[in-house]
Structure formats: structure tokens, C-alpha cells
A and B are shown apart, each in its own frame.
Chain A
Amino acid sequence: MSFASSMIVSSPQPAAVATRRLAAVGYQAGRQLAACAILLAAWEIVPRLGLVDPVFLPPFSTVVAAWWDLASSGALAAHGAASLSRAFSGLAIAILIAIPLGLLIGANRRLGEVLDPLIEVFRNTAPLALLPVFTLILGIGEVSKVTMVVYAAAWPILLSTVTGVRTVDPLLIKAARSMGLGPSALFRKVVLPASVPTIFTGIRLAAAISLLVLIAAEMVGARAGLGYMINAAQFNFQIPEMYAGIITLSALGLLLNVALRRIELRLSRWKDA
């Protein structure tokens, strides 16, 4: 944006201004990437110097080469697609279940009082501890893994929705009531829009959790997916491939978080100041 606007402004030396701005942007990006660059350099050098066993921690360049092989063979795309489709379908189902339920619990004080202790118990039960239960009941196929994601992702969404509904500024409710809004219009026009940013924070957390939980589930029992790929690579002693899988995973998580944070900022623009 700064680059484009500097081109439009009719300053005496637009090119010079643009260059300076570009340099500033580059400098900032450089600072932010410095820590990453140092880490990667260390990853490259430390195994080469023999400070760690390069069999267990191959140099970064070897990992990149392995990643390239995996990517060009289509294996990475296949495993990635398997994981993402599970994570997204689980997340979508969790959203469809948890938001309406959260709205109901948040709006209904009595229901909330009854269900709050139950929610506390389930929320504090590690989802992975329930994986054997899901596998027992649903088998080792897709259903149990997606169910696992649904279960893990539903809690943050449910809790943030309940919080969102319960923490709407009472003054706004009073103002709307004084205008003659009935309970249902009040809910649609005040409570719901006021809760959107809080609900979306829950969705963002849930997205991160769903990927996390899915990978673990895939490591325990699956025939495709990044979790399976990483685990299988380790079993078969394809160590560079294992690291390639891990890097792919963290890049995916990072991208997902950035994208969701963008949407979140958009939705809560009005909350500024």
C-alpha cells in the first residue's frame, strides 16, 4: 500500500521515495525474519560440524531436498489434503454444533447453571485421552478421527460463544429494550452481533486445536495424512522426510492462524478503542 501510494503522490522524486519505502519495508521484514534465519543456519551448521548426529538431525538443506522430493512426487499433497479435509470437516461440524448450543446456554441462565459444571468436567478432559473411546466405538476409520476433531474443537467455540452472549454490554441491551425490542429481536440485533468477535476468537483457537489433535490421532492409527506420514517416516528411518513433514505442518498451522487472525480483525474492527 505504501509503495502504491508513493507512486501516485506527485513528489519531486517519486522513484527515490519508493525506493526508500521499499528499503524500510525490507528492513522490518528482515528484522522479523532474523530469528528464523539464525535457527535455520544453526540447523544447517550444527549437524555438519558433527555437534549432533546428522542421522538424527540432518542438515536443513537435506530436509529441504527431501521436502522437494515429497512435494514433486505428489505424496505431500495427498497426505496434506487428507489431513486438511479431516480437520476442516471436523471444525465445520464443531462450529455447526457449538455455536447454536453456546447461544442457547449463554442466553438461558437456568440452562447455564445446570450445564456449567458438566462443561467444566468435559473441557478439562484431554481430548486425546478419549481417543481410545472413540476408536472403540467408531473404529479406526475416518469417523473416529473426525469425531475426535469435532470433540476437541467444539469446546473453545462453545465456551467463547457462551462468554460472548453473557458479556454483552448491559447498557446496549437496556437501550434496545427502551426502543421496544422484544426478546427475539434483541437477540438477533444486539446479542448476536455483539458476540461475533468473541465467538470468532473461539473459532480461531479451535482451528489450531483441530490440527493439533488430528495429527496426534493420525499418528495413532491412519493410512494417510501428515501425522501418519511423519510417524511412518520415523518408523522407516526416513529421517529427512520426517522433518519435511513436521515443517509442512508448522507452515500450515502458521498460514491458518494468519488467515483466521485477518478475518478476526475484520470482524472486530468496531471494537477498536
Chain B
Amino acid sequence: MCDNVAIEKQTSSIDAIIEIYKKDVDRTLLRENLKLTPSQRVEKFGEFLRQQAEIRGAFQKSVKES
């Protein structure tokens, strides 16, 4: 069973690496996001993806036309 993987609470080099990455996390954005409900976060992200797809589509269209 793959859930037998031991997840020990001891410090490892991975923790040190994650701590380095953690310094770059923009916590102001996280705090704002935490004010939303899970449903609102999912909805917001879905909307972001839709807009991203729209921009991607518009760009591809302009490349084809040029």
C-alpha cells in the first residue's frame, strides 16, 4: 500500500528548501483570498481561467491574421 509511506515530523533538508520558497510567498494575496469562502475562491479561479483562455484565444487569432 502506498499510504505506508512514513511521514515523520522530523526536520529534513526538504523543510529547509520549503522554508526558502516560503520567503517568496506573497502573503498579502493569501490574506485577501482567505477572506473569501471556498466557493468564492473556486468561482474566482474559474473566472481567472476563463479570462486566461480568452486572452490566449485572442492572441492566437491575431497571430493567424497577421
Partners in one complex: no
